[in-house]
């Protein structure tokens, strides 16, 4: 006979108190960190023919570009 297992509730991934702007900022920082680590790994492994510069990714510019593209879209 199977026993009833207790229900384990996990904490939400995004706290309810977090605003959309805070969530976007956290996402930008996370993406910047991932891109910096990837650049380090590529430069260390020698896969890059050109020297990879470790500079902060401009994800906020990317998001702004995407938003402006959506606003200018005819759809």
Residue 36 has pLDDT above 80, yes or no: yes
- Domain presence at residue 60: yes
The model scores a pTM over 0.85 = no
Range of the domain at 35: 20-44+56-72
Positive/negative CA dihedral, 47, 49, 54, 55: negative
Q: Which two structure tokens, joined as six digits, stand for 29?
A: 């920082």
* 3-class secondary structure, 47: coil
Alpha-carbon distances of 11 from 8, 14, 28, 44, 62, rounded to whole Å:
10, 8, 22, 37, 30
- pLDDT at position 22 is 85
- Domain presence at residue 6: no
Number of domains in the chain: 1
Percent of all residues in the chain with a pLDDT value above 70, rounded to a whole number: 43
Alpha-carbon distances of 32 from 11, 26, 27, 71, rounded to whole Å:
25, 10, 9, 25
- pLDDT at position 53 is 46
């Amino acid at each position: 006979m199977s026993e009833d297992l207790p229900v384990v509730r996990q904490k939400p991934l995004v706290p309810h108190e977090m605003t959309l702007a805070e969530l976007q900022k956290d996402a930008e920082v996370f993406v910047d960190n991932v891109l910096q680590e990837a650049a380090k790994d590529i430069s260390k492994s020698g896969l890059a023919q050109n020297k990879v510069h470790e500079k902060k990714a401009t994800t906020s510019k990317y998001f702004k570009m995407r938003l402006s593209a959506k606003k200018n879209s005819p759809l």
